[in-house]
């Protein structure tokens, strides 16, 4: 493990150089990794593990779309693809990658298979951090570990196929065997992490819920929509408003500051843009900081978790969700975006 200085703060980091794939394979050579769930994280993690030479099986409810997707991805029923309970019985490491709501629902069916010495693996700290609310309380004689890729399973798989890695956090909640650390690091390397940084289940879920509701998804949509609406209300066309709000951000500026940082992106823009950005970042910071503080406090006290549990457990949740997503998709801004994407040179 290397100690890396991030902006003046030292952190524990594991790289692929110090914990190579060959070492990960050796650590897990006698393990059967059962990936439970084939939705958001399941496909990317299981396929990367399989391609990296680990012994992997998938557990999924038979007859659904995700079962068919698993078959299409090369998982063989009765050999590497099983019903959830059988996969849990066969696995020595159970990667619990169902949605948070589904984890709560399925937990009573799988906990009997968590026999001494096994490992229960998560990619999100939700179920364990809020265990009094979720009911997910693992037995004391198993390892409880987490690798949380900092992105979707789709991104994890795409970057793996490109020969790259998606950074992940890792945590150990319970070390019953004395091998939890080796297991979790090996799994982190196996699923295709770029590097692994240490966290806790609680810190992961607090940062994750804040990030999803903040700059990763919620805040960014709110900011984009506010600017788009302002431009439209002042007479700008949908094409102009969308290009100025979204297209330039995602296609031009994001790649620049992803490459070398915000300062480098600023340095590669016009002096007029630089001056305006430096002058206006303060007002935007001051306007949004109280919202982020409120958001973090709602996460920390458990209110956000409870809202998620209550909403996701409603029988008509999926139906209502589809309506909300459809309204987003059919809004003028994103209908304009669909047209702009089609007009990109690579699509013509």
- Which residues of the chain form beta strands (DSSP E)? 2-6, 9-15, 33-36, 56-59, 81-82, 93-96, 119-122, 143-149, 166-174, 193-198
Task: Give the list of residues 6+ apart from residue 310 with CB closer than 8 angstroms, or none.
Answer: none
Rounded-to-integer distance, Cα 38 and Cα 69, Å: 8
Burial group, residue 341, by CB count within 10 angstroms (0-12, 13-18, 19+): middle
Give, as one character, the DSSP assignment of residue 77. B
Residue 124 designated active-site? yes
Residue of 124, 234, 236, 285 marked catalytic? 124
Among 267, 272, 265, 271, smallest CA distance to 248 is for 265
Binding residues for substrate, by number, are: 270
Element (H, E) at 231: helix 218-233
Positions at the binding site for Mg(2+): 208, 212, 244, 248
Alpha-carbon Rg for the chain, nearest whole angstrom, is 22
CB 146 within 8 Å of CB 184:
yes
Q: Which residues are annotated as a binding site?
A: 208, 212, 244, 248, 270
Residues with catalytic roles: 124
């Amino acid at each position: 493990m290397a100690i890396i200085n991030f902006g003046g703060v030292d952190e524990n980091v594991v790289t692929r150089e110090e914990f190579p794939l060959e070492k990960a394979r050796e650590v897990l050579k006698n393990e059967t990794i059962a990936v439970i769930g084939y939705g958001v994280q399941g496909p990317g993690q299981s396929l990367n593990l399989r391609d990296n030479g680990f012994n992997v099986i998938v557990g999924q409810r038979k007859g659904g779309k995700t079962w068919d997707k698993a078959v299409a991805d090369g998982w063989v029923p009765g050999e590497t693809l099983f019903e959830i309970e059988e996969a849990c019985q066969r696995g020595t490491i159970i990667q619990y990658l169902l949605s948070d709501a589904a984890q709560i629902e399925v937990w009573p069916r799988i906990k009997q298979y968590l026999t001494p010495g096994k490992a229960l693996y998560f990619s999100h700290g939700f179920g364990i951090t809020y265990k009094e609310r979720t009911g997910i309380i693992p037995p004391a004689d198993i390892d409880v570990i987490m690798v949380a890729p900092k992105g979707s399973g789709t991104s994890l798989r795409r970057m793996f196929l490109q020969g790259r890695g998606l950074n992940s956090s890792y945590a150990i909640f319970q070390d019953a065997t004395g091998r939890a650390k080796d297991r979790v690091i090996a799994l982190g390397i196996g699923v295709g992490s770029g590097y692994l940084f240490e966290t806790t289940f609680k810190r992961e879920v607090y940062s994750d819920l804040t990030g999803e509701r903040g700059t990763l998804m919620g805040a960014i949509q709110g900011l984009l929509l506010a600017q788009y609406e302002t431009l439209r209300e002042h007479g700008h066309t949908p094409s102009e408003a969308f290009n100025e709000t979204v297209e330039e951000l995602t296609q031009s500026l994001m790649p620049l500051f992803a490459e070398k940082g915000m300062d480098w992106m600023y340095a590669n823009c016009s002096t007029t843009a630089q001056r305006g950005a430096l002058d206006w970042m303060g007002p935007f910071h001051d306007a949004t900081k109280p919202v982020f503080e409120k958001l973090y406090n709602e996460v920390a006290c458990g209110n956000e978790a409870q809202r998620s549990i209550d909403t996701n457990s409603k029988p008509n949740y999926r139906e209502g969700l589809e309506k909300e997503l459809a309204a987003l998709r059919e809004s003028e801004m994103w209908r304009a975006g669909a047209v702009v994407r089609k007009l990109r040179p690579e699509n013509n």
